[in-house]
Amino acid sequence: MYLKRVELQGFKSFADKSVIEFKQGINGIVGPNGCGKSNITDAIRWVLGEKSAKAMRGDAMTDVIFSGSEDRKPQNLAEVTLVFDNEDHHLEYDANEVEITRRLYRIDKEAEYFINRQPCRLKDITDLIMDSGLGKGSLSIISQNSISAFVSSKPEERRVLFEEAAGVAKYKKRKRESVNKLERTTHNLERAEDIVNELEKQIGPLRRQKEKAERYLSFKEELQDIEVSVLVKMIKDHSFTLKKLNASLDELTQMQATKESGMVVRDHQSEEISKKMYALDQEINTLQGKLLVAMNNVTNLETQKVEIDANRKHLLESDNQKHLEEKIDSLKAILQDVISEYNDRVARLNVLKEEKDALTKRQADNGKKKDQLRKSIEDMNIALHQSRATRERLKDEIENHSRYSQGVRAILKAKASLSGIRGTIGDLCESEPGYETALSVSLGGAHQFIITDEEDDAKKAISFLRHNKAGRATFMPKKTMKPRSLRDHKMVVEAMPGYLGVMSDFVNYPSDIENVILNQLGHIIVADSLDHATMIAKDIHHRYKVVTCEGDVINVGGSLTGGSLHKAHSPFIAKRELEKIEEKIKNEEHSLNEKRILLHESEDLGRELSQALMQKQMSYAKLELVATNKKNELGLRKSEYEALTHESVELEDLSSGSTSSKLIDELNEAKRLRDKLKEDIATKREIRMGYVNDKEAIDSLLKQLRSELKDLEHELTNQKIKKTKLESEIENYLMRLNDEYKMTYEHAQSISREDLEIDSAKDRVRDLRQRIASLGNVNVEAIEQYNEVSSRYEELNNNRLELIKAQDSLLKAIDDMDHIMIEKFTSTFEAINVQFNEVFRYLFGGGHASLHYSDPSNILETGIEIEAQPPGKSAKLHSFSGGENALIALSCLFAIISVRPVPLCILDEVEAALDIANVERFAKYLRQFSDKTQFVVVTHREGTMAECDLLYGATMQQKGVTKLVSVQLKEAVGTNG
């Protein structure tokens, strides 16, 4: 192995990147003082792991970075790379060439290390070169100062050099690590023994607590098994009863609504009848006044007619033939009156018949109307029933979350016993009118996401679901959710046609969940149509979702979703639908009552028409009899007239006469009016009597309805009390399941026992509770604590035994390493001692020198003493000159190299204190070792330069910046020759 090259950049005076190529043998670096040639030695030492800034001739490590000059700016980093030829794999690294790099930055003072350009630690570099002859304290780098210090240093300080030569550094490091490990092991053993002793004291009491806790848990487990089954049975029975009770309540409520509606109609009907009766009384009173006048008028006219008829009769009974003409005229007048009366009765009969026919038609029309009203009421009742069913379904969806997933329903049911559960997004927010569909498609399934106060609340809820196998749910802790918005695109979309806003603008919600709503909806754009939505999505490059009020969606990325929407799946649409159906039911109930009132009015009209028709028929029958009598009288009068005149007459001829016709006409009109008034009064009295009967029936029905309604309300109250009690008991049972056993009803139902006899089970529950109470305070955690302490005791006791074994093993390993180090150090030291004397005698030309231990009884720590006696000198080191001390140190150096050759040795002006003869002797001695050791010699002595195979000249063409020029001496000699 040898150093192939050194690459420097920004290190001390090497401002520019410099590459120094080295050869095997002796490589020299020469130059005047201050030219930076020793910086190469510093660079190699720095890369090989030097951590002392003082050793690098600086105050801080950043002083190695080029600090600038008059013409050059300071560098921000220093970097040096050493490249070794490793074909012999002297370095334990799987590569034929090894690059070691160190880099340091000025600003953050951070250092970086690389082996073959792979990042590593400084420790990796020191481990790589340990015992390779390049380590710290080895002979790889020797300077003039270290040569001077070698002789004058303490014996203990010299030992490091011999340890490196003996190759015991790695053993010493291992021993140091083993000793440290032994100290830690001993400390851990002492600590383990203390803990084991302490745990032994805890195990006894914990065992007793554990046994008590196990009995408690056994009782508790049996109690849970039985009580859960009891609770499930009670909930099931109560739920069945509650279901029947709800059905009964629905029926009673429907009956109540029907009766209340009937009462409203009957009250209205009774009020209307009272009004009609009052109006009829007024009309009858008025008609009676008119009838009295009409009857007086008829009496007066009849009196006049009686007088006329008496005169005519008297004339007709006379035998005086002179009055024959007068008799004929009287009889003719009587006949004319009878004709007039008869014609009047016939005319009145015709009028009555027309009126009777008209009433019959009205009655038929009214009958059809009643049938239509009854059919309409029946249809409206069916529609109202359907609307109420829809309302109940929507209420169930909204209140009982029937369309939510199993997990969400389970959490909402257990909300009272779980902390921090606010509710679902669908429950907590509401859209503005017209945006329900847009909100539904914006959220999708997220309307079921559950909002919690804290993240821990969500974790506990998830644990609850997992424990009960109750499904899954998504939770949104309001404090951890981050709002989202359109950011930089907001101004762009606001200016576009069809843009209405972001979805969160059209939602009402509690202020404390704003982050959740903005997270879900703050970045969703709402447009007025699909065309505008498409334009907006294109302009923002499909980075945000765009929805329309009709439910069309332009998704992120550009896909489109649209078509019809199943409204029942959306809680927002369901809420709006519920509002609409409530309004619809209200309107339908109002319309139904109006129809019922119209039906009752039609029924009243039917009764009035029946009464009027009956009176018309009676009047017609009476008038028909009068007409018949008049007709008979007319025949009699006609016969009398023909007998008197002895000629046949036609009634039409006689009816044109004018004798007394005015009185008869007035009398006929008076009688017509009188009969009409009587008929009207009779009709109205019959109608009023019908109303009296109707009102009595209605009032009786109202009284009955009020009584029935009171009974219904009483029954409803009782049923509601029962329902509340049942619901409260069911809720208590559910709470007990959740609070005591952390179970949902569904999970409890899946594990409950069907074969349980409820009464004996309740007795067993009471017995178990007494047993549990008798145990007193129970530390349930004692089981786990005992197991932990017992397990820890066993583990620590095993660890203690392992530590004892490890302690013994470490002691043996340390002892073995001591023997190895003593053996290696002793053998190496003795070999060096022999070579030291020979080299000394060569360099000094005689004399003798030796090395010996300062403490032979402690080979592992002993210092190294030097005893040297040049020719003609005493053996006292402090009396030698600088050159003599340098020769002694170099003697020791060459002795060590001869025993333990090193791959690289850097000598920095170590021969500076020698005279010319000793320099030449030193240089020739270098040549002896150059086949096994590569030398890099920083020198200014000619004798040393003469032995170099490759020579570099260091100059400073620019102030403060070192430049190197290489010269291969053999080539130079050849050229000169």
Of all helices (H) and strands (E), which one includes residue 103? strand 97-105
pLDDT attached to residue 189: 74
Residues 703 and 597 in one domain: yes
DSSP class of 500 = E
Domain end position, chosen among 712, 735, 751? 712
Give the tens place of pLDDT for each residue, 740-753: 777 777 787 777 77
In this structure, are 597 and 577 located in the same domain? no
Q: Do 466 and 572 have their domain in common?
A: yes
For residue 430, what are the domain limits? 404-582
Domain total for the chain?
A: 3
445 with 489, same domain: the answer is: yes
**119: burial class by Cβ within 10 Å (0-12, 13-18, 19+)?**
exposed
Instruction: Provide the annotated binding site for ATP.
Output: 32-39
Instruction: Quick: pLDDT tens for 654-673.
Output: 454 444 467 777 777 787 78
Residue 138: pLDDT band with limits 50, 70, 90: low
Q: Bridge partners of 103?
A: 79, 112
- Tokens describing residue 160: 């490091």
Residue 864 lies in a domain: no
pLDDT confidence of residue 100: 94
Q: Same structural domain for residues 596 and 527?
A: no
Query: Does residue 299 fall inside a structural domain?
Result: yes
| 120-129, 461-470, 509-518, 935-944: range with lowest mean pLDDT | 461-470
Q: For residues 358 and 439, state if they share a domain.
A: no
pLDDT value at position 900?
A: 82
Instruction: Please state which of the ranges 48-52, 321-325, 762-766, 953-957 shows the lowest mean pLDDT.
Output: 321-325
Q: At what angle do helices 169-317 and 155-166 cross, to 10 degrees?
A: 80
Regarding whether 85 and 8 lie in a shared domain, the answer is yes
Instruction: Flag whether 506 is in a domain.
Output: yes
Q: How many CA atoms lie within 13 A of 917 on its CB side?
A: 5
CA-CA-CA-CA torsion for 337, 341, 343, 345, nearest 10 degrees?
180
Identify the top-confidence range among 64-73, 91-100, 587-596.
91-100
Q: How far apart are CA 80 and CA 46, in angstroms?
A: 8
The CATH number assigned to the domain holding 540 equals 3.30.70.1620
Which residue from 20, 80, 15, 18 is spatially nearest to 44, judged by alpha carbons?
80
What tens digit of pLDDT does each residue of 247-274 get?
Answer: 888 888 878 877 777 787 778 778 888 8
Overall average pLDDT of the 570-591 stretch: 80
Q: Which of 907, 954, 920, 962 is nearest to 30 (CA)?
A: 954
Give pLDDT, residue 551.
86
Residue 4 domain-assigned? Answer: yes
Residue 906, phi then psi, degrees to nearest 5: -110, 120
User: What type of residue is 940?
Assistant: H
* Exposed/middle/buried for residue 937 (C-beta within 10 Å: 0-12, 13-18, 19+): buried
CA atoms in the 13 A half-sphere facing the CB of 890: 29
* Known binding positions: 32-39
Same-domain pairing of 469 and 565: yes
Burial 490-515 (b: 16+ CB within 10 A, else e): eeebeeeebbbebbbebbebeeebeb
Q: How does pLDDT run across 751-785, given as a tens digit for each residue?
A: 777 777 777 878 888 888 888 888 888 888 888 88
Q: Domain ends where: 582, 617, 644?
A: 582
Q: What is the mean pLDDT of the chain?
A: 81
pLDDT, one tens digit per residue, over 465-520 is 888 888 888 999 988 889 888 877 788 888 889 999 999 999 999 989 999 999 99
User: Rounded mean pLDDT of 894-917?
Assistant: 85
Q: Are residues 292 and 360 in the same domain?
A: yes
For residue 182, is pLDDT > 60? yes
pLDDT tens string 318-327: 555 555 566 6
The winner for highest mean pLDDT among 80-94, 396-410, 485-499 is 80-94
- 95 pLDDT exceeds 70? yes
pLDDT band for position 99 (cuts 50, 70, 90): very high
What percent of the chain has pLDDT above 70?
Answer: 91
Examine residue 217 and state whether it is found in any structural domain, yes or no.
no
- More confident position, 311 or 485: 485
Q: Copy the structure tokens of residue 771.
A: 């047993």
> What is the predicted pLDDT for the residue at 84?
92
pTM to 2 decimal places:
0.42
Rounded-to-integer distance, Cα 897 and Cα 903, Å: 10
Question: Could you tell me which residue, 928 or 301, shows the higher pLDDT?
Answer: 928
Could you write out the DSSP letters of every residue in 53-84?
Answer: TTTTTSSSGGGGB----SSSPPPSEEEEEEEE
Convert the pLDDT of each residue in 510-565 to its tens digit.
989 999 999 999 889 999 999 999 998 898 888 889 999 888 999 988 889 887 76
Q: What is the pLDDT of residue 118?
A: 93
Least confidently predicted of 174-188, 436-450, 837-851: 174-188
Same domain, 128 and 11: yes
The DSSP bridge pattern shows strands 77-85 and 26-30 to be unpaired
Residue 112: predicted pLDDT: 93
* Of the residues 549, 565, 582, the one at which a domain ends: 582
Question: Which pLDDT belongs to residue 321?
Answer: 52
The confidence band for 972, taking pLDDT boundaries of 50, 70 and 90, is very low
Total residues found in the chain within this entry: 977
Please indicate, yes or no, whether residues 362 and 421 belong to a single structural domain of this protein.
no
**Among 107-111, 795-799, 832-836, where is mean pLDDT lowest?**
795-799
Residue with the larger pLDDT of the pair 975 and 620: 620
* Cβ density class 89-114: b for 16+ within 10 Å, e for less: ebbeeeeeebbbbbbbebeeeeeebb
759 in any annotated domain = no
Burial of 814 (0-12, 13-18, 19+ CB in 10 A): middle
pLDDT for 661 equals: 61
Per-residue pLDDT at 807 exceeds 70: yes
Predicted local confidence at residue 384, as pLDDT:
83
Residues 336 and 435 in one domain: no
